[in-house]
A and B are shown apart, each in its own frame.
Chain A
């Protein structure tokens, strides 16, 4: 690394921003790629069920399937709004 590079590496260049954004989106899209076909439907139905009790936005329910060698895990993440009351 040259003397100049040292100072350059301190500041965020637009190329660095591009790289970070790409790493995030590509990782996300790769995750979606191997997901089973039924997942979007499952996600929609889960959302509908949860909405009977709590008002949440579309992106508050994340459903993912994690495959290991021995088994698959269905991961369900529901983020509730800060002041959620049941009705």
Chain B
């Protein structure tokens, strides 16, 4: 039985795809057989971030509609063993995802995978609801900014009322807050909501804080999930988050402004 994790946010452009790529890569790197599914039908992007855009032949919708088998559609990652990508369709509409169709695919994947990571589209409509429906856990990606926090709260409401677990009266979806694009310097200046502020408002456990980092753009330019940039702050922060997801205790990092000392400035530039 696979563990199903949805990466969701409500608001667009907050870092869901960046997070899905890194979390799935991190899980696979730790030896868990992992598949990451792009639910953003019509706007596929995960393939670019994972550097497999030229290897896409069949997609999620093809499998749902019986035009291809899962094995034909799954793309095996070239860097990390036991990591697979199921790309979204670029030509269809989100309505092509049906509850029964998604369930059939997830059930088949569950037989062989340890983790199924679902990269949700933005919004709270059909596509986002399909991505979260079968989830056991939810990573709620939030930026320290008013509209993102509000939308995260709305997505939490949907997880608590419209997921399969909610409808069946089972244990609720396990919720995790992932605060991304965090800028400790602006927080210290009082220009940005702090981790504590967002935790207090959303009232769900903190999985991690990913700092605002130029490395993210560089990594996406090259199609490298940023978690593979082992030296970078964002990469390390994602690695911590994966460890915590697996139950490890890790102290939170990158939450305070690094004041560079004289020597650090001399040697690091």
Residues of A within 8 A of B (CB): 8, 11, 13-16, 18-19, 21-23, 25-26, 29-30, 33
Give the chain A neighbours of B192 by CB distance below 8 A: 15
Known: A8-B190, A29-B154, A33-B157. A15 touches B197 (CB 8 A): yes
Known: A14-B190, A16-B190, A26-B153. 16 other contacts (CB 8 A): A11-B190, A13-B189, A15-B187, A15-B190, A15-B193, A15-B194, A15-B197, A18-B193, A18-B197, A21-B146, A22-B146, A22-B149, A22-B150, A25-B150, A29-B150, A30-B157
Give the chain B neighbours of A23 by CB distance below 8 A: 201
The main secondary structure of chain B at its interface with chain A is helix
Give the chain A neighbours of B154 by CB distance below 8 A: 29
Chain B, interface size: which category?
A: 10 to 19
The tally of CB-CB contacts under 8 A between chains A and B is 43
- Of all chain B residues, which has the CB nearest A32? B157
Give the chain A neighbours of B161 by CB distance below 8 A: 33
Task: Determine whether the beta carbon of A19 is less than 8 Å from that of B190.
Answer: no
The main secondary structure of chain A at its interface with chain B is helix
CB distance from A27 to the nearest CB of B (A): 9
Q: Top 6 A-B pairs ranked by shortest CB distance? A: A13-B190, A19-B197, A33-B157, A15-B190, A26-B153, A18-B146
CB distance from A5 to the nearest CB of B (A): 9
1/0 per residue, CB under 8 A from A, across B191-226: the answer is: 111100100110000000000000000000000000
Of residues A11, A14, A22, A29, which shows the largest number of chain B Cβ atoms within 10 Å of its Cβ? A22
Give the chain A neighbours of B197 by CB distance below 8 A: 15, 18-19
A19 to B195, CA, bound (A): 11
20 CB-based A-B contacts, threshold 8 Å: A11-B190, A13-B190, A13-B191, A14-B191, A15-B191, A15-B192, A15-B193, A15-B194, A18-B193, A19-B200, A19-B201, A21-B146, A22-B150, A23-B201, A26-B149, A26-B153, A29-B153, A29-B157, A30-B153, A33-B157
Give the chain B neighbours of A19 by CB distance below 8 A: 193, 197, 200-201
CB distance from A82 to the nearest CB of B (A): 34
Task: Determine whether the beta carbon of A22 is less than 8 Å from that of B201.
Answer: yes
Give the chain B neighbours of A26 by CB distance below 8 A: 149-150, 153, 201
Of residues A15, A29, A30, A33, which shows the largest number of chain B Cβ atoms within 10 Å of its Cβ? A15
